[in-house]
Structure 1
Amino acid sequence: MKLAPTGRRSRTHEDQQSMSRRTDLQSILIVGSGRIVIGQADEFDYSGKQAVRVLPEKAAAWCWLTASRDDTFAALRSLVTEPVRNDVELAPGSPSLDDRPQMSSKRKMRRRSQAAAQALEIVYGPMDLSWHSRLSPETREAMPGLHALLHDDPRAAVTELRAWIEREPLPMFFNWLSGAYSALGDVPSVEDTVRENYRRNPQYLFARVNYAELCLRDGDLDGALEALGGGLDIRALLGGRKRVHVSELTAYFYAVGLYHIKAGDPAAAEHVYGILKNVAPDEPPTEELRRRLHPRLRDLLVTWRRRR
């Protein structure tokens, strides 16, 4: 007899095979556990599914008592084999085993978001920007200085960036210009720049994200959803790219989480926050979404001081 590390005997597959089978049971009632919390393995009655998986092999009649949810029912449909299907009796009002339950649009959006994060290659270091080589040598030489000026002297950066936009209206220059205006507290200029960037460069992901956040602030959910893509799938906005920088991913998913909060779907926002915690736990957008979902006392005090 082998002992487990705790001192209790561990059950082996030989033990399970030698257990006697009860023959006095006419039927078995399975009381389902209910749905598992979103994001934790399968989103259906997991214990009920495992019981149903085993019982037909034992040739016992069984009754599964569980919530009438489409996803739980889909799990049952996937388990019932053809020879047994004819003997399955459903409660009144239950859909047919052959009916495919319709997934809600909200759940479709959540699944697309998770699939996108899993399918893309996330780059945490410098990106290899092919478009950078197509810029003029003068522009490539000026970009590091312009970016440094944005942090060192936002007012001078506004003057320089506006001049460069007249010469070469790069989407990044608009993004930097809105950042310079923001550092100066010039909110109307920030809004104008964000709108202009989205109008001129709808293919630029940050232009879409910034415009979506602007729409959400103004309560325009339809405008935000259009900017983020109707399916809330970042892959549709990458132009076929399979590699995405972590700053792009976190900015996009933060805006998606904010959209779900404004739309009154905190569960979907929590799902997005879980994705961000998994791929970029230390990035500012992840922390900002956490503050919106789970504000701590310190967060509330900071917000109160800003509004005074």
Structure 2
Amino acid sequence: MATNLGDSEQVPYEITYQAIVDPKIQKLPEPVQKELDELLVNNRKDAEKAIPRLLALKQQYPKIPLIYNYLSVAYGFTDLARQKQAIQENYQQNPNYLFARCHYAQLCLREKQYDKIPGIFEKKFDLKALYPRRKQFHANEYAAFAGVLCAYFKAIGETEKAQYIYDCMRELVPNAAETRQAKALMQPGFFSRVGAKMVAVLSN
């Protein structure tokens, strides 16, 4: 199923949970491929260990976007300023890489630079339009793309588009962290709604 918010006709594509081989990763020596799998960061302790090695790998293999991704995740546990630099560098070096686009768009959302986001995605709000040669996308790719677009359209007041994307996410990637984040955005909790109403009443 495709989620198309652009002007082009909707073109279906497959969303899979099976691993999609990255040709750039496949060309790396096998020990490096295995090491990258082991360098996936899940907590601060892992991050502090991983950063020096990831920096060395980035210098050795500057054209591998995944290394920049892992660095930005690791810095997220240790140094937010360097995380921002890693996200920006990944987008500058690998502007066609989907996760580089999505992470940079998330950064722009946090900094309320909403006008930059259409350009990041070439004004194409559909994965098939953005990557016409691909017929299949991993669920994580779809979730990252849809999640940032949901937040973007919500931020600029286009709530119907944001709701449509969220509904698609609930159907296609219900267990993704991005879907939970979209739910919090589109369906604020009871106490949040009550608090907002109280503030409005007290302001009148």
TM-score normalised over the length of structure 2: 0.83
The structure-2 alpha-carbon separation of the partners of 1:228 and 1:298, relative to structure 1 and needing over 3 Å to count, comes to farther
Of 257-266 and 151-160, deviating more is 151-160
1:142 corresponding residue in structure 2: 35
Check conservation: 1:208, 1:228, Cα contact below 8 A.
yes
> Matches of residues 132-211 of structure 1 in structure 2 within 5 Å?
132-147=25-40, 153-169=46-62, 170-184=64-78, 186-211=79-104
Runs (5+) with no aligned partner, structure 1: 1-107, 301-308
The structure-2 alpha-carbon separation of the partners of 1:299 and 1:126, relative to structure 1 and needing over 3 Å to count, comes to farther
- Please give the alpha-carbon distance, in whole angstroms, between the structure 2 residues aligned to 1:281 and 1:299: 23
Instruction: Report the alpha carbon displacement of residue 298 of structure 1 after superposing the two structures with TM.
Output: 7.0
Whether 2:33 is the aligned partner of 1:124: answer no
Check conservation: 2:124, 2:130, Cα contact below 8 A.
no
AA at the equivalent of 2:10:
A
Q: Deviations over 1:139-160 (max 9, x none)?
A: 2232222226877521111111
User: SS in structure 2 opposite 1:122?
Assistant: strand
Q: Deviations over 1:211-242 (max 9, x none)?
A: 01111121212211111230312223336111
Check conservation: 2:150, 2:166, Cα contact below 8 A.
yes
Q: Deviations over 1:157-182 (max 9, x none)?
A: 11110111000121001001000011
- Please give the alpha-carbon distance, in whole angstroms, between the structure 2 residues aligned to 1:149 and 1:247: 16
Check conservation: 1:205, 1:237, Cα contact below 8 A.
no
TM-score normalised over the length of structure 1: 0.56
Higher helix share: 2
Check conservation: 2:20, 2:138, Cα contact below 8 A.
yes
User: SS in structure 2 opposite 1:153?
Assistant: helix
AA at the equivalent of 1:281:
P
Name which of 109, 116, 121 aligns with 2:5: 109
Runs (5+) with no aligned partner, structure 2: 194-204
- Please give the alpha-carbon distance, in whole angstroms, between the structure 1 residues aligned to 2:103 and 2:132: 18
The structure-2 alpha-carbon separation of the partners of 1:266 and 1:110, relative to structure 1 and needing over 3 Å to count, comes to farther
Which protein is bigger by CA-based radius of gyration?
Answer: 1
Check conservation: 2:41, 2:74, Cα contact below 8 A.
no
The structure-2 alpha-carbon separation of the partners of 1:239 and 1:268, relative to structure 1 and needing over 3 Å to count, comes to closer
- Please give the alpha-carbon distance, in whole angstroms, between the structure 2 residues aligned to 1:203 and 1:131: 13
Large movers: runs of 4+ above 6 Å: none
User: SS in structure 1 opposite 2:169?
Assistant: helix
- Please give the alpha-carbon distance, in whole angstroms, between the structure 2 residues aligned to 1:299 and 1:131: 45
> Aligned Cα RMSD in Å?
2.3
Instruction: Report the alpha carbon displacement of residue 130 of structure 1 after superposing the two structures with TM.
Output: 3.6
Aligned length: 189
AA at the equivalent of 1:223:
K
| Identical columns (%) | 26
- Please give the alpha-carbon distance, in whole angstroms, between the structure 2 residues aligned to 1:140 and 1:299: 45
- Please give the alpha-carbon distance, in whole angstroms, between the structure 2 residues aligned to 1:122 and 1:220: 30
